[in-house]
Structure 1
Amino acid sequence: MTVSAVSFQRWLDDVAPGTSHAAVCHAAGIKRSTLAQQLGRGRVTVATVVAVSRSRQLPVVESLSVFPDYRDLAEGTASPTDAELLSQISDMDLLREILARSAAADSGTDPAEIKLSPIPHRASVRTWLDAIGPPDLRQQLSRSAGIAPQNLSAQIWANRLTPALALRSARISGVGRANGLVATGLITPGEAGWLPGSRAEALRKTANSALVALAAERMDALSRTLRRREQDAAAAQKVWENLG
């Protein structure tokens, strides 16, 4: 998703008055040519807004809320649900937790605390969407955004979701507006107001049976993903063989 170049320049004049584009880009780690191209097209990416905001040490969510399409972002900030927090724990970390608990039960000791992988993980978009519901969320999202279901599925399968779709998903589901931007990797949990250690706390209080059930769901989804990749690879190989 992008914001208009006019609104971006107005915002930039407010947060970095008198600062040249070259200086802004250097501080934000953006190529000067990249910003020039975006301004020339009349649209600036949300990632650019985030990078500039960070370089100016500004609250990212509040910065985004300046722009029309994100007006409700800051006021709609809310703590993630336990389901959302668990959705942002990788498959491997869930399995490690299960193994740690099992080993502790066998030895009669407390389970070792595992170090969680950073967000996003390789299926963080899909798991977040599954966590927030409703069951027909993807259908509602496709209809309301005017995006073909197959195009939406392609984004999710590739672990991508535009900021616009992430925000729309949060609106439909009634969860914190910024939470989807965390799942996509656009902003950090801290920038969205998530408490430090909240994922680990949600994991610790998840019952063994629920944890195993969640891991089983993840493994089933992973199996489908791997099967699809294998089928795609086999189809590509067949094409090459026919061409050869």
Structure 2
Amino acid sequence: MAVTARAFQLWRMRIAPHDSVSDVCRIADVKRSTLAQQLVRGKVSVPTIISIARGYGVSVVDALSEFNGFEDLPAGLTEPTDAELLSQVSHIDILRLLVARSEAQESGSESPLDLAPFPHRASVRAWIEAIDPGDLRQQLAGSTGVARQNLSAQLTAGRLAPWIAVQAGRIAGVSLASGLVVTGLITPEEGGWPEDGRARALRAVPDLDLVLLARDRLDVLGRQLRRTELDDGRDRAIWENLG
């Protein structure tokens, strides 16, 4: 779901009444040809809206709320749950903390926890699993009209359309901006995620639960690697058959 060109032009005139489209593109660091193509097609992408909002110093959450499908975004902006925060910690950082805790038991002091930036490779799928009340994919398919196989394809590719990500938050009862954060469309700060939230949530996980969390993440990683190997094998077979 993109923004209609008419809705975009009305919004643009409100935030930059004296600027031309070229001015807007320059200030927002958006290619003029990109925006022109979107306007010709009658649909302006959400990333374009976000770039322009940032260029003009407008809250991206407030900017998106001007458009159909995102009206309740500001009212639905809350802090992420601990489960969401943990979903955005990579398996490498989880393993690093396990090692650090083992070393701390021997040395008596624990080293500072410096987490890698996110989104990580499995951010989107991990977030969906963290907020899933049990039938999230089914409810998403029913409420958005997107087939479950298409949803699965997006998750496998590590992406999720913005309006679907927001709808997932509505269904799960979490912050409506979280899906935009984990897909990398907006920054954690823009989405209301606390700077030290992930580290705090991770440190609160007991050793046993941390081991189980690491096991689950490695299991997902293993499945992804097997899928990649199978895809590579099929590609090689096709090229060999082509001679």
Between the aligned partners of 1:131 and 1:27, the Cα distance in structure 2 is 38
Between the aligned partners of 2:139 and 2:68, the Cα distance in structure 1 is 22
The answer to whether the aligner puts 1:29 opposite 2:25 as a matched pair is: no
Between the aligned partners of 2:134 and 2:228, the Cα distance in structure 1 is 25
Aligned counterpart, 1:220: 219
Structure 1 residue 225 displacement after superposition: 0.7
* Higher mean C-alpha displacement, 197-206 vs 75-84: 197-206
The answer to whether the aligner puts 1:44 opposite 2:44 as a matched pair is: yes
Between the aligned partners of 1:16 and 1:119, the Cα distance in structure 2 is 32
Deviations 1:20-51, CA, capped at 9 Å, x for gaps: 11111111111001111111111100001100
Gaps of 5+ in 1: none
Q: State the Cα RMSD in Å.
A: 1.1
Structure 1 residue 139 displacement after superposition: 2.0
Between the aligned partners of 2:56 and 2:94, the Cα distance in structure 1 is 37
Between the aligned partners of 1:145 and 1:23, the Cα distance in structure 2 is 36
**Mapping of residues 78-117 of structure 1, within 5 Å:** 78-109=78-109, 111-117=110-116
Aligned counterpart, 2:161: 162
Between the aligned partners of 2:6 and 2:122, the Cα distance in structure 1 is 35
Between the aligned partners of 2:238 and 2:35, the Cα distance in structure 1 is 41
Between the aligned partners of 2:162 and 2:194, the Cα distance in structure 1 is 22
Between the aligned partners of 1:142 and 1:107, the Cα distance in structure 2 is 51
**Mapping of residues 151-230 of structure 1, within 5 Å:** 151-230=150-229
Q: Which amino acid aligns with 1:143?
A: G
* Higher mean C-alpha displacement, 84-93 vs 99-108: 99-108
Q: TM-score, normalised by structure 1?
A: 0.96
Between the aligned partners of 2:139 and 2:51, the Cα distance in structure 1 is 31
The answer to whether the aligner puts 1:69 opposite 2:87 as a matched pair is: no
Structure 1 residue 135 displacement after superposition: 2.0
1:25 and 1:32 in contact (8 A); partners too: yes
Structure 1 residue 169 displacement after superposition: 0.6
SS in 1 for 2:111: coil
Q: Which amino acid aligns with 1:155?
A: Q
Q: Which amino acid aligns with 1:46?
A: V
Between the aligned partners of 2:134 and 2:231, the Cα distance in structure 1 is 28
Structure 1 residue 148 displacement after superposition: 2.1
Q: Give the fraction of aligned pairs with identical amino acids, expressed as a percent.
A: 52
Deviations 1:144-176, CA, capped at 9 Å, x for gaps: 222222221111011010001101111110101
Structure 1 residue 183 displacement after superposition: 0.5
Aligned counterpart, 1:19: 19
Q: Which amino acid aligns with 1:60?
A: V
SS in 1 for 2:3: strand
Q: Which runs of 4+ in 1 moved over 4 A?
A: none
Structure 1 residue 143 displacement after superposition: 2.5
Q: How many residues align?
A: 243
Q: Which amino acid aligns with 1:106?
A: E
Structure 1 residue 114 displacement after superposition: 2.7
Between the aligned partners of 2:62 and 2:168, the Cα distance in structure 1 is 19
Deviations 1:87-129, CA, capped at 9 Å, x for gaps: 11111111111111111112222x2123211121111000000
1:119 and 1:182 in contact (8 A); partners too: no
Structure 1 residue 221 displacement after superposition: 0.6
Between the aligned partners of 2:146 and 2:2, the Cα distance in structure 1 is 17
SS in 1 for 2:69: helix
Aligned counterpart, 1:6: 6
